[in-house]
A and B are shown apart, each in its own frame.
Chain A
Amino acid sequence: MDVQSWTFLIVGLTFLVYIGIAVWSRAGSTKDFYVAGGGVHPLANGMATAADWMSAASFISMAGIISFAGYDGSVYLMGWTGGYVLLALLLAPYLRKFGKFTVPDFVGDRYYSNAARIVAVICAIVVSFTYVAGQMRGVGVVFSRFLEVDINLGVIIGMVLVFFYAVLGGMKGITYTQVAQYCILIFAFMVPAIFISILLTDTAIPQIGFGANLGGEIGSQIANGETITLLSKLNGLHAELGFTEYTDGSKTMIDVLCITAALMVGTAGLPHVIVRFYTVPKVKDARISAGWALLFIAILYTTAPAVAAFARTNLIEAVSDASYAGGEGEKSIPEWFRNWEDTGLLAWVDKNEDGRVQYLAGAPFAGKKPEFAEGRGASGERLVTNGGLDASANELYIDRDIMVLANPEIAQLPAWVIALVAAGALAAALSTAAGLLLVVSTSISHDLLKSVFMPEISEKNELRAARFAAALAVCIAGLAGIYPPGFVAQVVAIAFGLAASTFFPCIILGIFTRWANREGTIAGMLSGLGFTVAYVVYFKFMGGTPDQLWFGISPEGIGAIGAIVNLLVTATVSRFTPPPPVEVQEMVEEIRIPRGAGTAAAAH
């Protein structure tokens, strides 16, 4: 069977599983719809959280980003896992004890204010939509690359599927599909990783092969008789070609610190992650399920940097100085080179006209992406119109997404593995999209309708409103996937910055202090938000130049400073305004004690 038939088969089967689960786990009440009835086993919740958290970007792009950034890529690894420690220790158990359904619920009750609740709702919706647009596009891209359907058709298929299980099952449907999606995506990520580790280092565990000597089928060719570790070889290759050493960074230390902090704090403040901890029965379960979630995430996150280093070494060895046309007895480019050139994710310009690929440090062309023209060059390569930056001798453009997607081909794995990678990427994108859409629909039906505008709404109508809001959110997300706003990549920085500079300080102060009050938190959230958005917008959209950055902090890291601004403003304003009412102070005491967690939900 060829790759495409395998892909249809495996992707089709996984979709049937998702639909089956959706039918089996229909939501019967708002509690089912918002928090899966509050009875999810902590282990299952851990898996669902992991799938919820790991998006198309984690699955497809992260290893590629690290592969090109080397040590600098660590900010994503530490930032996106370290946040779970904050979540487990500082947020999850207390929010579970508080009960109720959403983050705005907590903000509104703790700060006895519907204005604070509405600010929280707006932040939750903005953060979630920012994220979800990228996911739907990801679904479309995977469809078009592996199944050769139009990207837009791919987006629509994804929409229909998410529509089905999110609208029908709510959190209950989403949770159990996410469990299945986690299993599929982790299997799909690990299989090629293990094969490649064996090929390059003769070790079946990528995390160990990463630090081992070169060996195995491809590895011994690269080592060429020498006994050398993969990382020293890679550092050597980098030095030879003019790149910074792989294990050494090129970002400033303060920037690395700030980005890591912003990602950690942002992760802990993302509403679609926090809400998962309301679905378990007890405070104890909320604590342990954060542990399971991080364990399941860590399996992928410790493998990704290994894959990145393997792929990088293999790539440089395979293409550097290889002849494009491939004459007798010469080192010639591998087969996958042409395949990916056809997709436009790879491009080569023969600047010195020697017919060989020179892969060196520096940008190959003017502009970020190659623009292709009709026709072929002297060696048979695709012509690039924005080619020929004379400043650098680098001739090769490689899109970082290739690293994960092409791995099975590079390692010459069987067709079913390639199909599996497609199914895994889809699982990653769909699970995250569904979790985010639920946050949007809950924010509308529960936090706005039920809590603010129509407190008298019946349970049945609220459920109906929730389903309607979910359906609407799916449609808007689908539209954003079909007509992607050009700034999606930029706004992801805003999503983390927003979560870091609004929710995190507000929730932490709400739990760990009695004095944080309504006036303080509203002023704090708004100033954190304003500060972060202004900085990001200035540098991403208004042409701010790198030398204007404050202390060299890039927009990705500014959320960390935004969080501090929020803390300081909240503290100062709370000092000069009346303290929270006694009931609220008692509530703070109450959420610190685990006993009686059932009460909060029952009293609702």
Chain B
Amino acid sequence: MEYGAPRYLSGYPNDGVTMVDQETLEAKVVMTTDANKEYLKFMNEMWNLGYLDKEVFMQKDDQYKAKIASGRVIGVYDQRWGIVDSLNALEKIGKDDRNLVAFPVTIDSAEREYYRGPYAIVMQGISITTSCKDPEGAFRFLDRMAADDIQKLAIWGIEGEDYTLVDGKFTRTAEQWNNSFDLEYTRAQGSNDVFNNFPRRERTDNETYAKFDDGNWCNPSMDPEYADLRYKDYEKQILKDYNIKTLNDFFAPAYPARYQPGWAVRQQLPQDSAEYISIDKALAIANEWHAKITQAPPGDFETLWEQYQAELTAVPGLAEYEAEATRLTQESAKYYGD
């Protein structure tokens, strides 16, 4: 809300609290950008026209979810995982015509949208300690874990039990598909999330990396059959009406990562540094001012925006954060190939 919406809407990828210029790789804190001003201006207009829910800044998360689950909500700006419980509830009571489907919304001047980013799954991961007696052996073990046959075992399961090879293609019966959706079954089988902390082939749109050498999908969710099983009837109807294969097709294809995503920058700073703390403060300020500015009479917009910016400028370390984020982003671009 404080930074995600204006950044996505004006056509920038997910870089946390910063907006990274795609050409110069310069990072700016979203709250201080013109994009944010434009966004708030729009919100303010919508508020004064009465198009926004009057409780938009008052409700708690559960009240918001309950509202969506009641089927009275025509549209929201959110990420699916945040409201998925409500959408499931709507499905359960059969109000399919009230359910929500995602579209990539941007402002008119945005050149393209970056809603779908490179897949980044943050797990604890695995590390080799300095006191390891045989670091090379440990590394060879991890390397082995990343090999195709192990990956097939980890992601697809045991051949003959969880899938069968038909003309070199991985196929699953309906029962095998259902088993694969059952977390308890896959755990008992020793596949899937058991391997989460080891190197694994993640889902990606890039076909070169999305398939094993034998041409099978690394991730079963890329299989068209998977979509067919997972989509509900009303979703299939939408797909048919819009003549697309998956709901993802509404969006531009995932962009390739060219630099370290901006949301990772903050984790690299010491937690007691002024830069790190400045973001917490800026977010708290934004939280308050977004509500204040949106609900203000249109005439007050400019003065309130000035006051908001003045408060942000007064936060120590915010400018330094931008400089540091820019430096780290540009530095990281060297290590990301095309």
Q: Do A and B come from one complex?
A: no
B interface residue numbers (CB < 8 A to A): none
